[in-house]
């Protein structure tokens, strides 16, 4: 039977020859992830199961990234639970402050995610690893607990929607814009319960960073996962980071899809998602005069080196507009270090940016950049729900790093063309 | 199992950030979380509702983050059941896993008005609107999920498996 990538991966991990959409299967897991918000609940539930040891101390990754470096006493207690559990279980992949990063920037960089794997994480943006052709999906803490005990999870085999991006990207258009465009097209529940397959020439031409940005936001269309077929770039990225043998899965040409949609990317300009849903997108040329108080560049969506490079390219030799706070959050310590080595951080600081150690911080309204009532931010993050970055009466607009940097200079949302 | 209470009605795409804002996620104590249930959507919710009441909502309820704190907050606040057109998938999983009853039933959602007295038979998926004397059948759960529910959630289910 012809199958999609997701169906093949599930079949193999469930010890089956084939699976079809709608079936519920139990599959083995290659990696289980948790952060400082979701893991404390998972640890509590794990202890109720009645096993002493996790299924494999090399296949669990704990990353304290949300409220760290700890913002208050309660979050310090939460982080301590992770640290103690990691020690007690001898986990190989616990990342302490100073070596940690935002989980979805960190795990790929550490060579912990590979094509063909099944990865679940108690964090909705676990779907980021779809960029490697892995079936990666977010779950809750209880699923994480059960997975840590058994190394397995149940899955309903999803139908797959295929999106083909043809053509060449216009200037300042990135993976972020392609995925925002897609979400704007199908809506925040347009792929509910389903898998996305992202492909076409424009996706192949993206770097692994750009691909991760796209898969990262599959969840914003309601999808279970967002896969990109592995290729030479995938292999190159992994070479030197990982020794693990992995298997690449590609969809059969005759595989059945719920829907196949094609876009011509020349028609896509940088996108801005208006409050309070990621589907409220428009092209930058249709954005009216929207003054901003804060610009945030970073997060698991756009906190990678090439994102910071683009921001620096635009900010170089210029200064943020008076009254605008420009916050930059490199995704990992390595990215931070490389950005220093390349002179990016100096450029950002000269432009008036506050640069932080890696943290989720402002992305979820946690700390390090929370908005007051009536304030407005442009952010390279992935969600703009009510109260996402702070006060319920604040507003978040989503964009790519180039638009966010340009807007910091202009004091309102503008195209990079307008500040260069 | 039968549940009964008053309906509180909300729209589409109710996300986990408004169900339980991140500023309260530095604890996972259900009673603490319950205090802020739906705070950024309807700040009066906690005062208006009484234990046993139901939430009735449109499409894609619980979209966004994977925080299990969202169904935990709803459950600990005393909400007996959430009826929606559809649920975001992680929320759906989480609700089943922790034993918060949820039902998908667009025909009931469209008919129910805020304040209606609703009775739900969870086992059969039958929903009765006592205020209008109408009856609806929710989408039944697949067998595997029935088993999860009957075990009392995922942890109990896995505990049994591990013992075997
Ligand atoms: S950066 Fe934002 S979206 Fe990404 S994991 Fe952290 S809080 Fe979640």
Calculate the alpha carbon distances from A164 to A137, A194, A201, A378 in Å: 21, 16, 8, 28
The whole domain housing A328 covers 271-418
Same domain for A279 and A252: no
| CA-closest residue to ligand 1 atom 2 | A363
The structure tokens 């700040």 sit at B43
Cβ–ligand 1 contact at A398 (below 6 Å): no
Pocket test for ligand 1, best of A62, A63, A66 (most atoms within 8 A of CB): A66
Query: What is the band of B152 on the pLDDT scale with cuts at 50, 70, 90?
Result: confident
Tokens of B15: 């996300």
Same domain for A154 and A286: no
Cβ–ligand 1 contact at A367 (below 6 Å): no
- Looking at residue A110, its pLDDT comes to 98
pLDDT at B140 over 90: no
Average pLDDT, chain B: 95
- Looking at residue A121, its pLDDT comes to 98
Last residue of one domain, picked from the residues A263, A291, A313: A263
Q: Which sign does the torsion angle of CA A288, A291, A295, A299 carry? A: negative
Q: How many domains does chain A have?
A: 2
Q: Which sign does the torsion angle of CA A63, A231, A221, A210 carry? A: positive
Last residue of one domain, picked from the residues A263, A290, A314: A263
- Looking at residue A346, its pLDDT comes to 98
Same domain for A308 and A251: no
Last residue of one domain, picked from the residues A263, A288, A306: A263
A124–B90 CB contact, under 8 Å: yes
- Looking at residue B1, its pLDDT comes to 84
Same domain for A207 and A108: yes
Query: Across-strand partners of A355?
Result: A328
| CA-closest residue to ligand 1 atom 6 | A360
Strand-pair category, A376-379 with A395-398: parallel
pLDDT at B153 over 80: yes
- Looking at residue B149, its pLDDT comes to 85
How far is Cα A359 from Cα A376, in angstroms, rounded to an integer?
21
Peptide bond into A69 cis (omega under 30): yes
Q: By the CB < 8 Å criterion, does A195 face chain B?
A: no
Same domain for A183 and A310: no
Which residue among A123, A370, A392 sits closest to B40, beta carbon to beta carbon?
Answer: A392
Same domain for A68 and A9: yes
A72–B26 CB contact, under 8 Å: yes
How far is Cα B134 from Cα A398, in angstroms, rounded to an integer?
44
- Looking at residue B164, its pLDDT comes to 77
Same domain for A102 and A78: yes
Q: For residue A72, give the CATH number of its domain.
A: 3.30.499.10
Q: Is A322 helix (H, G, I), strand (E, B) or coil?
A: coil
Interface residue of A43, A138, A189, A192 to substitute, partner B, most B CBs within 10 Å? A189
**A261 within 8 A of A183, measured Cβ to Cβ:** no
Same domain for A225 and A326: no
DSSP category for residue A240: T
For chain A, 420 residues long, the average pLDDT of each consecutive 10-residue run is 97 98 97 98 97 98 98 97 98 97 98 98 98 98 98 97 98 98 98 97 98 98 98 97 97 98 97 98 98 98 98 98 98 98 98 98 97 98 97 98 98 97
Calculate the alpha carbon distances from A69 to A23, A73, A172, A381 in Å: 42, 11, 33, 19
Same domain for A159 and A40: yes
From chain B residues 73-92, the ones with a CB under 8 A of any chain A CB are: 86, 88-90
| CA-closest residue to ligand 1 atom 1 | A299
pLDDT at B162 over 90: no
Torsion angle defined by CA atoms of residues A75, A81, A82 and A85, in that order, rounded to the nearest 10 degrees: 180
- Looking at residue B150, its pLDDT comes to 85
Q: What is the distance in A from the centroid of ligand 1 to the CA of A360? A: 5
Query: What is the band of B123 on the pLDDT scale with cuts at 50, 70, 90?
Result: confident
Of all residues in chain B, the percent with pLDDT exceeding 70 is: 100
Which residue among A51, A138, A386 sits closest to B18, beta carbon to beta carbon?
Answer: A386
Same domain for A227 and A176: yes
Same domain for A244 and A183: yes
The overall longest dimension of chain B from CA atoms, in Å, is 48
* Strands in A284-381 per DSSP E: 294-298, 325-329, 353-355, 376-379
Ligand 1 atom with the shortest distance to the CA of A299: 1
0.85 surpassed by complex ipTM:
yes
Residue of A nearest to B14 (CA): A385
Residue of A nearest to B96 (CA): A142
B77-122 confidence digits (pLDDT tens):
999 999 999 999 999 999 999 999 999 999 999 999 999 999 999 8
Same domain for A369 and A225: no
């Amino acid at each position: 039977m012809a199958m999609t990538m997701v169906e093949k991966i599930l079949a193999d991990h469930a010890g089956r020859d084939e699976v079809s959409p709608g079936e519920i299967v139990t599959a083995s897991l290659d990696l289980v992830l948790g952060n400082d918000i979701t893991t404390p609940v998972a640890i509590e539930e794990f202890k109720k199961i009645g096993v002493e040891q996790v299924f494999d101390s090399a296949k669990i990754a704990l990353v304290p990234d949300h409220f760290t470096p700890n913002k208050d006493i309660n979050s310090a207690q939460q982080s301590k639970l992770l640290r103690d559990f990691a020690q007690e279980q001898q986990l190989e992949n616990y990342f302490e402050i100073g070596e940690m990063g935002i989980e979805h920037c960190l795990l790929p960089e550490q060579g912990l995610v590979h094509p063909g794997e099944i990865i679940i994480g108690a964090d909705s943006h676990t779907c980021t690893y779809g960029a490697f052709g892995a079936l990666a999906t977010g779950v809750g803490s209880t699923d994480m607990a059960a997975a840590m005990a058994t190394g397995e999870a149940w899955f309903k085999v999803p139908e797959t929607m295929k999106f083909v991006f043809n053509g060449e990207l216009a200037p300042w258009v990135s993976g972020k814009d392609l995925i925002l465009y897609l979400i704007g097209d199908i809506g925040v529940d347009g792929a509910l319960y389903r898998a996305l397959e992202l492909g076409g020439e424009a996706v192949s031409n993206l770097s692994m960073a750009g691909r991760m940005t796209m898969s990262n936001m599959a969840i914003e269309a309601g999808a279970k996962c967002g896969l990109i077929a592995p290729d030479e770039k995938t292999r190159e990225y992994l070479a030197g980071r990982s020794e693990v043998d992995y298997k690449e899965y590609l969809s059969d040409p005759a595989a059945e899809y719920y829907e196949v949609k094609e876009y011509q990317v020349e028609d896509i300009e940088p996108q801005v998602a208006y409050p309070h849903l990621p589907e409220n997108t428009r092209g930058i040329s249709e954005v009216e005069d929207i003054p901003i108080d804060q610009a945030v560049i970073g997060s698991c969506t756009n906190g990678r080196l090439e994102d910071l490079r683009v921001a620096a390219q635009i900010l170089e030799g210029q200064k943020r507009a008076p009254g605008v706070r420009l916050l930059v959050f490199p995704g990992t310590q390595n990215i931070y270090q490389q950005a220093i080595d390349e002179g990016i951080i100096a450029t950002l600081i000269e432009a008036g940016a506050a640069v932080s150690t890696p943290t989720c911080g402002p992305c979820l309204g946690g700390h390090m950049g929370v908005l007051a009532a009536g304030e407005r931010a442009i952010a390279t993050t992935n969600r703009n729900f009510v109260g996402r970055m702070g006060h319920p009466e604040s507003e978040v607009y989503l964009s790519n790093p180039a638009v966010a940097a340009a807007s910091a200079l202009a004091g309102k949302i503008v195209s990079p063309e307008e500040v260069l | 199992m039968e549940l009964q209470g008053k309906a509180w009605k909300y729209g589409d795409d109710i996300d986990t950030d408004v169900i339980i804002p991140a500023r309260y996620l530095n604890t996972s104590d259900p009673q603490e979380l319950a205090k802020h249930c739906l705070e950024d959507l309807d700040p009066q919710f906690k005062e208006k509702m009484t234990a046993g009441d139901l939430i009735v909502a449109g499409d894609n309820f619980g979209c966004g983050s994977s925080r299990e704190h969202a169904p935990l907050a709803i459950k600990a606040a005393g909400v007996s059941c959430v009826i929606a057109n559809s649920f975001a998938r992680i929320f759906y999983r989480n609700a089943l896993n922790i034993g918060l009853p949820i039902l998908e039933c667009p025909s009931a959602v469209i008919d129910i008005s805020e304040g209606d007295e609703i009775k739900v038979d969870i086992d059969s998926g039958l929903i009765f609107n006592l205020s209008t004397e109408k009856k609806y059948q929710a989408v039944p759960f697949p067998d595997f999920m029935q088993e999860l529910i009957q075990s009392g959630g995922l942890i109990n289910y896995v505990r049994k498996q591990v013992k075997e």
